[in-house]
Chains A and B, each alone.
Chain A
Amino acid sequence: MDLFIKFLVAAIGAGTPLLFGTVGEILNEKVGHLNLGVEGMMAIGACAGFMGGYLSDNFMVALLCAFLAGMLAALIYAVLTVTFMANQNVAGLTMTIFGVGISNFIGVYMIEKAESGTLKLPAQVTQQMRSIQIPGLSDLPVVGPLLFSYNPFVYLGILVAALTGFYLYRTKTGLNVQAIGENPGAADAASIPVTKWKYFNILLGGGICGIGGAYCGMIINGGVWISNSVNGLGWIAVALVIFAAWKPHMAILGSFVFGALRVLKYYKVGFMVGMPDAFFDMLPFLITALVLIVTSMRGNKGAHIPAFLGNNYFREER
């Protein structure tokens, strides 16, 4: 039982960067943009967040840096695909190669400058991003570790997902925005400012991805900078959007399930013990592939894929 609770807690931690990435990508896809640059935007966020925290010794500054850097990266993507109508697949992939490259590059550059030869987050920021302990509540059995034992990213992630869900499904603006992903021509005719909201969503999504990246850069390696900290999580996030059927609240569930898959190899029981670690590393990708196949077998029913996804919108051709 104790082990099981530990497993769940670890799963939620491991799922958090996925949650940010998934919510960011949902915002993109809702306006019809299949952004394959999540991995890159997260890598940029990882670097900006870590370096922000490293230089300022302040967690809020780190978060802000990650958010702004993610937004800036998304701006490149948005200019290329919204204004210049470039191919979304290629623009996204380029963003990934560029983002991972520049993140690692700046990491090495900063390590060269550091006297100790390593980059470690200073004490205050480490303190601030440590798991929040609420006296009384955190000490409760079962409920304590399960609900009140996480670092601030986890709570922020759930909050961001909930707010995004509210924005998309409970506000007039959000419903208008969803219309853009379904049929931008009709949305335009209904005087919804298509370009403006595309930029808004893509930039906001990029910023959220950036925060997810900051989790990877700052938490996963225990506050020490190591290259490639995002390491494919951005791709799982892209896939999780399908798993979550484009719904932010489903993304919360989905990312914790995938978080569980990611940490399963440390909690093998029974028949799993003999299985190789590599299989567990493969599992999130394997299951995503299966989800993709199964949803397509059902004729994408209930998948809620935005109808215009992947296509650019040119007003004169509607």
Chain B
Amino acid sequence: MNPTVKNTREPLFHVVKHAERSTKETVVLRLVAVLLSIVAGGLFILAIGQNPIAVYGTILEGSFRSQMAIQATIKFAIPLCICALGVTLAFKMKFWNVGGEGQLIMGAVFASFFALNFPNWNHWVLVIVMLLAGCIGGGLWGVLAAFFKVKWGTNETLLTLMLNYIALHLVSYLQAGPWRDPAANGFSKIARFDKNVALDKVFGVHFGWIIMLVLVAFVWIYLKKSKQGYEISVVGESQDTARYAGIDVKKVILRTMFISGAIAGLAGACQVSGSDMTLSMGVAGGVGFTAIIVAWLCQLNPAMILVVSFLFGVLEKGSSVVQSTFGLSSDCADVLQGIILFFILGSEFFVRYSFVGRSKKGVSR
């Protein structure tokens, strides 16, 4: 375009790649990022005229102050953790499943079908059927996107996104139409489930938390120790390599997306039968999106997902206390989560790259 070199000055800094930092350095880097995000969040709180230390203190105190508060915190963490485990499987395969929200909703819908229609079944039969139905609902919703991906290469990010909203409006159809509670005069909402439906409580929290712990172990073993898990990583690294090694890539994608969706669907089933006791449009409430962030933040490590989900539960529960104490919206949980992830995303750069400033003498080329 321009035959003469116009710009002879070296830029102020440029980026160089180096060997990946050691685990210790990476951990320090991430801690610094988290620390900086807490400072940035504090500045934000300061900017709206509140005392950051008081607000942060309230978040911590609010989520641990009593047995009930801790139970509520765990209740927040359960769907988030389960859903994050689900998307982890897809992400490992570099399949951008951003449809956790929709898969969770479909799981909730399938489970609610049994909760509403067969409340008199034997309790354990009903619970098991509901949880299985949740898996199938979420799994089918996940496999739908995978089907078009393997068949025609349809962009999975956008398709799973659309499926989220299709599922959401399906719930709005159900609550205004066939599943509408006639007793709620005028309101379109779904009736509260029968007591027989409720998941049993263990240590004061519905046993979804046990499912969550089992799933953490399952996903870890599945990814690290099983043949199928290995296939997932190979497909994620390079589909050509996978094909060369004789792996049926299409089958792996379909199977993995079914499991990924099924896990998210299980979260939905637990949410309606353990926590909400009804199906509403708020059943997922953004959990499916936050789960993606959690999974990424933890670099798809199941144990870390458990820890971070709990911490996000603290943020959620704490923010609801902040709402009542300071009159601030509980949306501040989302704001803080966003800030934390911005910093973590930024810090990842320094694991592999650094900035090199312009040298005074000029660079010998």
B residues within 8 A CB of A85? 349, 353
Q: Which residues does chain A contribute within 8 Å of B328, judged by CB atoms?
A: 105, 108-109, 112
Task: Report Cα–Cα, A112/B162, bound state, in Å.
Answer: 35
From residue A114, how far is it (CB to closest CB) to chain B in Å? 12
Whether the pair B165, A101 counts as a contact (CB closer than 8 A) is: no
Whole-angstrom distance from the CB of B215 to the nearest CB of chain A? 22
Q: Report the interface size for chain A: residues with CB under 8 A from the other chain.
A: 58
Q: How far is the CA of A315 from the CA of B342 in the complex (A)?
A: 23
B148 adjacent to A293 (CB under 8 Å): yes
- Is A98 a contact of B342 with CB atoms below 8 Å? yes
The answer to whether B170 and A84 have CB atoms under 8 Å apart is no
- Segment at the interface with B among A130-138, A140-148, A280-288: A280-288
| Complex contact B334–A91 (CB within 8 A) | no
- Known A-B contacts A84-B345, A86-B345, A90-B293; the reply to A102 vs B338 at CB < 8 A is yes
What distance in Å separates the Cβ of B143 from its nearest Cβ neighbour in chain A?
A: 15
Q: Quick one: given A79-B346, A97-B337, are A191 and B1 in contact (CB under 8 Å)?
A: yes
Residues of A within 8 A of B338 (CB): 94-95, 97-99, 101-102
Determine the chain A residues whose CB is within 8 A of the CB of B166 once the complex forms: 282, 285-286, 289
State in angstroms the CA–CA spacing of A80 and B339 once bound together: 12
Q: Point out the residues of chain B lying under 8 angstroms from A102, CB to CB.
A: 331, 334-335, 338
Residues of A that sit less than 8 Å from B by CB: 34, 36, 76, 79-80, 83-87, 89-91, 93-102, 104-109, 112, 190-192, 232, 235, 238-239, 242, 276-279, 281-282, 285-286, 288-289, 292-293, 296-297, 299-300, 314-317
Across the interface, do B345 and A91 meet the contact criterion of CB distance under 8 Å? yes
When each residue 329-359 of chain B gets 1 if its CB lies under 8 Å from chain A and 0 otherwise, what string results? Answer: 1011111011101100110110001000000
Pick the interface stretch among B117-125, B152-160, B235-243: B152-160
Q: What are 26 A-B pairs at a CB distance below 8 A?
A: A79-B346, A85-B353, A89-B96, A90-B296, A90-B341, A93-B98, A97-B286, A98-B334, A101-B332, A101-B335, A102-B335, A104-B331, A104-B334, A191-B6, A235-B161, A238-B158, A276-B177, A279-B173, A281-B169, A282-B166, A285-B165, A286-B162, A289-B159, A292-B155, A293-B159, A317-B17
CB distance from B2 to the nearest CB of A (A): 6
Q: Report the minimal beta-carbon distance from B334 to chain A, rounded to whole angstroms.
A: 3
Beyond contacts A98-B334, A276-B173, A293-B159: 19 other A-B pairs, Cβ-Cβ < 8 A, are A34-B157, A36-B157, A80-B346, A83-B349, A87-B345, A94-B341, A97-B334, A98-B339, A101-B337, A101-B338, A108-B331, A112-B328, A238-B158, A279-B169, A281-B172, A288-B158, A289-B163, A292-B159, A296-B148
Binding site for A on B (CB under 8 A): 1-2, 6, 14-17, 48, 96, 98, 148, 152-155, 157-159, 161-163, 165-166, 169-170, 172-173, 176-177, 286, 289-290, 292-293, 296, 327-329, 331-335, 337-339, 341-342, 345-346, 348-349, 353
Task: Name which residue of chain B comes closest to A190, CB basis.
Answer: B1
B329 lies within 8 A of A296 (CB)? no
Residues of B within 8 A of A36 (CB): 98, 157, 161
Which of A90, A108, A238 has the most CB atoms of chain B within a 10 A radius of its CB? A90
Q: Measured between C-beta atoms, what is the minimum distance from B280 to chain A in Å?
A: 14
CB-defined contacts of A190 to chain B, threshold 8 Å: 1
Among B1, B48, B332, the residue within 8 A (CB) of A192 is: B1
What's the minimum C-beta distance from A232 to chain B, rounded to whole angstroms? 6
Chain A residues lying within 8 Å of B153, measured Cβ to Cβ, are 296, 300
In the assembly, what is the distance between CA of A288 and CA of B158, in Å? 9
CB distance from A47 to the nearest CB of B (A): 11
Provide the residues of chain B in CB contact with A192, threshold 8 Å. Answer: 1
Give A95 to B339 CA distance when docked, in angstroms. 9
Q: Does the CB pair A86–B349 fall under 8 Å? A: yes
Most chain A beta-carbon contacts within 10 A, residue among B48, B296, B334, B348:
B334
Is there an interface contact between B169 and A278, defined as CB atoms closer than 8 Å?
yes
Set of chain A residues within 8 Å of B157, measured between Cβ atoms: 34, 36, 89
For residue A316, give the distance in angstroms from its CB to the closest CB of chain B.
6
A84-B346, A98-B342, A316-B16 in contact; A278/B177 too (CB < 8 A)?
Answer: yes
Contact of A314 among B2, B17, B292, B341 (CB under 8 A): B17
Residue contact A108 to B329, C-beta cutoff 8 Å: yes
Q: Which residues of A contact B169 (CB under 8 A)?
A: 278-279, 281-282, 285
Q: How far is the CA of A292 from the CA of B334 in the complex (A)?
A: 30
Instruction: Kindly report which residue of chain A lies nearest to residue B48, judged by CB atoms.
Output: A109
Nearest chain A CB to B308's CB is how many angstroms away? 14
Say yes or no: A105 contacts B332, CB within 8 Å.
yes
